[in-house]
Each structure stands twice: as C-alpha cells, then as structure tokens.
Structure 1
C-alpha cells in the first residue's frame, strides 16, 4: 500500500513527450530565441538612435515574450496554449507575406532571415499538430487529477496575470527610457497620434513631472521648445495639448527667447500664422514672456534685424486682414 502511494505521489503529470512533440518544441524555441537575438542586433547595429530603434522593435519583442510564455505552457501539455500559439504564428506569417507581396519590406539579408524563421516555425507547427502530438495532447485529460504536486489551472491564470503585469511594467520602463533619451518622443506622442502604441497620458505625465532638461535638444539637434512650437500648426496636432506642452516647458524654466539660427520661437510663430490662422500660439508665447522687440539675426535674408512686429508687417503686406490682428497683439504686448 505504501509503495503504491509513493508511486502515485511521484507520478509525472503527463505522459512522456513523444519524439514529434519534443522536436517541434525544440524548433519553435530555437525560432523564438533567434528572433529575439535578431531584434536586439537590429537595435545595436542600426544607425538610428538606440531609443528610436528599440521603440520600433518593441512590439516584436513583446510578441516574442508572449510566444515564449505560450511555449512554456505547451511543454506542459496545455492544448489551449498550442492553439493560441498557432493563431499568433499565423498572424505573424501572414504579416510577413503581405509585406513582401506589397513591397513594403525591401529584399535584404534581414528579410531572408525572417522568412527562414517563418519557414522553420511553420515546420515546427506541422510537427506540433501531427498525429503523435495530437494523441499526446488528448491524453492530457487522463492525468489532470493528481493527488500531490499537481499544477492547477488557477496557477496558470496567476502566471498569466503576473506575466501580463511584468510585461506592462517592462513596456512602461522602456517607454520612459526612450523619453529620457529623447523627450521629443514624449512631446510628439502627447500632441499627435504619430505613436499610437504610446499612451498619451503617459507622455503627458512625463512632460509634466519627469526631471529632464527643457532647454535640451532632440536627437536631430532642434531645441525641444522650438519643436513644441513648430508642431502647433501641423495637420493632425492636438492644439490644446500642444499649448499645454509649451506652458509645461515654460514652467520647467525653458528660455522662451532662445534663438535657433537667429530666430526665436515668436518669430517662427509670426511666420506660420498666415497658414494656421490662430493667434493662440503667439498669445501664449507673449504670456510666457516672449519679447517682440528682439531682432532676427539672419544676414542672408531681407528681414535681418527686424523685430517681431516689423517681421509681421514685412511678411504679408497684401493681406492686411491676416496681418493686422497679429500686429495689434504684438504691439499691445510691446507697450
């Protein structure tokens, strides 16, 4: 009797994996690892800043992390994980095929490597859904009830929740790392929909509370404050968020009169006013301390030495209905 109980206690949860399943898992684990290594190589070898490249490959890395979690469940004879892994793999292969057919993905060594990984993954999936594999997964139900040391389904739910939480924390950590490397990414994410994978409130909270240099520059060399002002009149910009960002940078101590190539942010706002048609940016800059009396320093242009009021007069002499309200606004501030 004791001998029987001991044998039950140490009985394995599931029957031994058939060779077909073991081979399929080995191939699929290899493809996941190779894909992760390739993504990291792209980040390290790309001529773009690490933050920007990392942001591009982040969705792929999270997809691979999900794939690893599913494979771990497949190795424990979880049929639901096998089905989910098949579905996610189909989406990935179809996406690669569409990129190649539509010409959105240029033919290169990287493309060939991705295609080779997809082919290997398809072969692994064929093995995973082969005759021996199907029999192994069907036999799992006979071994679900174990008197000791059995992994209950609730444990997998907890594992999934913990993994999801860890992925969210990792995701936010990577986003913050990118923001600190180049705060203009947060600026763009908060004021436009150019980065749909970055939550706007996260970007806005970073701009407001994070300890970055408001007088710093983007990775292209453009002053951060100038980038915030330049985005105001662009199509697709949330102007309310744009103004809020400009005020936030000013509250953090940005120099609103700092010139870029001889022009202040106010000069650029005057230049763009006839196109965007809103005085809100100019009014905001004046409220934040922009000086309309500062001259332009650009010896190559005819308006070299003109202040903001003179610049407004010189720009649009043929359309006074556009020019005059801005001149009045600037003159009122100067007085």
Structure 2
C-alpha cells in the first residue's frame, strides 16, 4: 500500500460525507469494491494480497469511518473462514468475495431500514427539529416521517455550503418545511425548536462519539439550553476502540488576509461526550450509553 493511495482514499471519504451519511457512504464503498473486484486481473496467488491491501487502506482512513470499518472487518473474517478461496480459480475467488460483500450490503440496508422505523417513534406532529449535516436523520428519518404524514418543521444550521445545500435538496425533494440560519444564530431559536437530531461516524467504547465537524459546538449549546438531543446510528457504528484511536485528520492550509499569509488549522471531525446526548437511537431501539460495549458487533 502506498502512502499516496491512502491519502487519495482519505480525501475521498472526507469529501463523500459532505453529501452522504456515513451509512450511505459505506454502501457506496462496498459497491465500489465489488466493481473493482469484477475488473481485477491478477495471478491467482495475488488475489488475497490485493484484497488485504484494499481492506487495510479503508480501515486506516483518516478519520476512521463506520460502519464501513466494521463491515470491512466482517468481510476479512469471512474471507479468512474461506481461506481466501485459496484452491479456487480467479473467477471463483472473485464471485465468492462479491457474494460476501453483497450479503454485507443487504445487512446494512436492513439495519438502515430498521433505524428509520425506530426513529419514526421520535418525530411528532408539531416538532421543530434542528439539523446541521447530512447524516442518518436527514437521509432516513425525516423523509420517512414526511411520507407517513407527520407534520413538522426543520431548522437547518448553515455551516459548510456544500453540506447545507445537500440538506436543503433533501427537504425540497420531500416537500418538508424548513428554515436556514447561520449556526451562530441558533441562540435566537431556543424558544421555538424542540429537538436536535444528529448522526455519527463512530460511537466508541469510552463513551464518546465521532461526528461531523461543528457538532460539538451545537451539541454543547443545545445541552446548555436543555434542548433534547437525539443521536441516531446503526449498531454497526459502535466500536470497541477508543475515541483517541479514530485517526482524526488535521488539515493545515495557507490563507491570506489583509496581505498577511497565515496557516489555518482544522480537524476533520469532532469528538463529543455521550454524556451530552439524551437519547441514542439504533436499529435495535434506544441504547443506554453505559452499555455501548455490549452492542459492539465486531
């Protein structure tokens, strides 16, 4: 694995999650691996090393991205159980690996559907829900609730324009009433909104969750104002690893202001304490933050 390959994939992940939730990003990634395997041409003995290299690049991404990280671990376990189809020809190796990936896609799609069903119980007529990034609540819950005939509004906190535009597109496509404000203007809406919905890239065993940049400020402000905070995530986003092991990416870039060059430093993700979250909703229902380790599937 070259460092260039790792950097390319890391950048791709960080760009994709501006448009999709980490769950949808995982589906896109699994589909891409399937297409790559179909196109793979190599000697039989190189099949396993090629797959191991791809898996290593994904599980070492900056930041680590769940549920794809856990799905890749499950993929590798199944390959190991089949000894990477060692005694088979390349065509059979490829079809075997693709079948495992398709089963993982089916599992994730099922979990996402179940998460949407569980989430519907937490959206009521008259709600005014705060959103700020393209996460599971935006892709799964909000549109499904609208289809079910529930009447509610959404307050979108504008941060990065690309993310905000994507949320707006989802609202428009589903004919959901929404208002867009700058993130810093939220202070003027606490007498109107009644819930904050967020998602995560990972929920870690040390009682933290990794999420979109800017989440920490919003969660903290909502917690101070006693606004109920709902975190929605499939159980496949739970990890026995700690928050410090999530490979948060530190970006440094040169900018200019008033003729002066300076270095702007920013992180790819936020790490937030689950103590600030009122409800953790998964595809298996509501989960107690003290029992995260019990729900880790990998």
TM value normalised by structure 2:
0.26
Whichever of the two has the greater Rg, that structure is: 1
- Greater helix share, structure number: 1
TM value normalised by structure 1:
0.24
